[in-house]
Chains A and B, each alone.
Chain A
Amino acid sequence: MPQRDLVAELRSGRTPAPAELRERVRLIAAADASPRPRLARLTVRRALAVAVPVAAAVAAATIVLTRPGGHPAAPHVEAFRAATAAPSAELAPGATTLALREPDARAVARAARRAQAIVVSLSGYATSVEVRGARGRLVLHVPPANAPQALARLRSLGTVTRSPGAPSQTIELRLSAER
């Protein structure tokens, strides 16, 4: 076969993407509905130039404030600590818990990312995401009207081990790996 015919045959071959893959990519892309941020030029060096002095200041403040035998912290320091503490991931009353099992730790991380993409695509957001190795816990909020659809799509991310009854706008998603 002449090379021209060979190239023509190679070009004629089609590899259409399956519908399921299209849906998966659509969900991933839904997490980035906004245009490109102007911080695109932020380099590692620039980030370090800001982060290193800030980290040093925080470390110095921590040493001073937690020095044993030192003076008790002033009220305004306590207020500052309370205000800058990690946000609480407490669940609102009426929240529902969905527990899923994944094949391994990598699948847990993947399911956590997809779960966030799902709620974002349904006009929701994640208030808390904790993924450590084989376990993950996410607190997700969706508009009440989208809650049933969110639950249905979240269920498809793994093997359901605990399913909530009625859908709620606050969903606690627990992920665990089999191994």
Chain B
Amino acid sequence: MTFAQAAERHLEDVYGYLAWFTGDRFAAEDLAAETFERALRLWHRYDPARGSARTWLCQVARTVALDHLRSERRRARREALAAPSDRVEPAFAEGLSPDLERALRDLPPGEREVLVLRVVLDLDAGAAARVLGISATNCTTRLNRALRKLEEALHAAA
């Protein structure tokens, strides 16, 4: 598989993962482009025997997103001192109910990313754990906790 084929096939997955993880579809667009730029430079390191291209691209995307979130936190701290934030809250995905959108927004990014990897992208526990750098058991625990929180939030909203 060439890099171009992998990029074409998994662009939606990478963009979706970043949109859910960051909770910002505009930022996800830039981060996805940055992910593929970085992935192209690292493509010689990708070993199909160790996992799928999709899993590997999600790992690269996660590194890019974490760098972004760190700098974003610093920026937000600086801005909070100067003026109140007027940031527009974007949607995670099209077709979700407003209650579910709200509940997702209240989840920490770490729980949202396990949801997108396991539920939306349908990665198995091992592959999702590799992306997150945690054990498969820990990944399953985190997924159950996130689903429970969503259930509770939706129940409260109803």
- Give the B-binding residues of A (Cβ under 8 A): 1, 3, 6-7, 9-18, 20-22, 24-26, 28-37, 39-40, 42, 110, 113
Q: Is the CB of B4 within 8 A of A7?
A: no
Q: Does B131 contact A (CB under 8 A)?
A: no
Q: Is the CB of A15 within 8 A of B25?
A: yes
Residue of B nearest to A31 (CB): B40
Q: Is the CB of A15 within 8 A of B4?
A: no
Question: Within the assembled complex, what's the spacing in Å between the Cα atoms of A37 and B43?
Answer: 10
Chain B CB count within 10 A is highest, among A22, A31, A32, A34, for A32
**A-B interface, 8 closest residue pairs, ranked by CB to CB distance from nearest:** A13-B93, A29-B4, A15-B16, A32-B3, A29-B7, A17-B15, A13-B96, A15-B93
Q: Is the CB of A1 within 8 A of B154?
A: yes
Q: Determine how close the nearest CB of chain B comes to the CB of A129; give it in whole angstroms.
A: 14
Question: Within the assembled complex, what's the spacing in Å between the Cα atoms of A13 and B103?
Answer: 14
**Within 8 Å CB of B11, what residues of A?**
17, 21-22, 25
Q: Is the CB of A15 within 8 A of B15?
A: yes
| Among B16, B25, B40, B155, contact of A1 (Cβ-Cβ < 8 Å) | B155
SS of B interface (majority): helix
Residue of B nearest to A32 (CB): B3
Question: Within the assembled complex, what's the spacing in Å between the Cα atoms of A178 and B78?
Answer: 21
Within 8 A of A (CB), among B118-141: 119-120, 122
Q: Determine how close the nearest CB of chain B comes to the CB of A132; give it in whole angstroms.
A: 19
> Which of B29-37, B58-66, B79-87 forms contacts with chain A?
B29-37
**Within 8 Å CB of A16, what residues of B?**
12, 94
**Within 8 Å CB of A13, what residues of B?**
92-96, 120
Count of interface residues, chain B, beta-carbon cutoff 8 Å: 42
Q: Using A15-B92, A21-B15, A26-B7 as known contacts, list a sample of 7 further A-B pairs with CB atoms less than 8 Å apart, ordered by residue number in A.
A: A6-B150, A13-B92, A25-B8, A25-B11, A29-B7, A39-B44, A40-B46
Q: Does B56 contact A (CB under 8 A)?
A: no
- Give the A-binding residues of B (Cβ under 8 A): 1-4, 7-8, 11-12, 15-16, 19-20, 25, 29, 32-34, 36-37, 40, 43-47, 92-97, 100, 115, 119-120, 122, 147, 150-151, 154-155, 158
Question: Within the assembled complex, what's the spacing in Å between the Cα atoms of A16 and B94?
Answer: 8
Given A10-B115, A11-B120, A13-B95, residue A29 in contact with residue B37 (CB < 8 A) = no
Q: Is the CB of B2 within 8 A of A34?
A: yes
Q: Determine how close the nearest CB of chain A comes to the CB of B111; give it in whole angstroms.
A: 12
Q: Is the CB of B94 within 8 A of A36?
A: no
Given A28-B33, A29-B40, A32-B40, residue A17 in contact with residue B12 (CB < 8 A) = yes
| Among A7, A10, A15, A30, contact of B12 (Cβ-Cβ < 8 Å) | A15
| Among A10, A17, A32, contact of B4 (Cβ-Cβ < 8 Å) | A32
Question: Within the assembled complex, what's the spacing in Å between the Cα atoms of A116 and B151?
Answer: 49
Q: Is the CB of B93 within 8 A of A110?
A: no
